[in-house]
Amino acid sequence: MQRRDLLAAELYSYSFANYDAHRGIGNQRFDRFMPDDAATLERAAREGWSDARLADALEVAVDAVPEWRMRFERALAIVDAVDAAAAFRNGVRFSIEDALAEGLDSAESIEQLVTQVCYRAADLAFLLDLEGNTLSEYSQALREIPLGQVEDEP
């Protein structure tokens, strides 16, 4: 898959493998429309488009644009991460942030978060396959706590 396809998968909350399975079978949604939306969002960010202009280009309501911009920024943080481990860490972080915002207060909500982390693990496997790397190559990177991310305990 190309970068634009990975961005589209993230924008529309598809796992990379599932998105890839839908490409090239004549489904214009996956082959054209979703990647075009990713390209539009990237151009809008690069050129500083107004919310109204972006809403028109995406054919969405103006009040939906902030959500689209946030989703695109998150997609960039995953797809353009320095490596697969960083992409995975960013994806897991976003999943946890979303779960906390929605309320992580029941067995069902915890299970939904576990499912999201499993999807992120599947995406990591997909990225590793694309790179031709193994998980063990990222063992240390996955165990590190980035400086400035977590305060030291007293």
DSSP letters of 23-54?
TTSS-HIIIIIHHHHHHHHHHHHHHT--HHHH
Yes or no: say if 12 and 26 are a contact pair by the CB < 8 Å rule.
no
- Distance separating alpha carbons of residues 43 and 39, to the nearest angstrom: 6
29-62 burial code (b ≥16 CB/10 A, e <16): ebeeebbebbebbbebeeeebebeebbebbeeee
Which pTM value belongs to this model?
0.88
User: Residue 24: left (phi > 0), alpha (psi -120 to 50), or beta?
Assistant: left
- Distance separating alpha carbons of residues 26 and 41, to the nearest angstrom: 24
Angle separating helix axes 84-102 and 107-131, nearest 10 degrees: 160
Q: Give me 142's structure tokens.
A: 């996955």
Which residues of the chain carry a pLDDT beneath 50?
150-154
Q: Give me 139's structure tokens.
A: 């063992």
Q: According to the model, what pLDDT value does residue 149 have?
A: 56
Q: Domain extents for the chain?
A: 1-80, 82-144
Q: Is 101 exposed, middle or buried (0-12, 13-18, 19+ CB in 10 A)?
A: exposed
Angle separating helix axes 65-79 and 34-47, nearest 10 degrees: 100
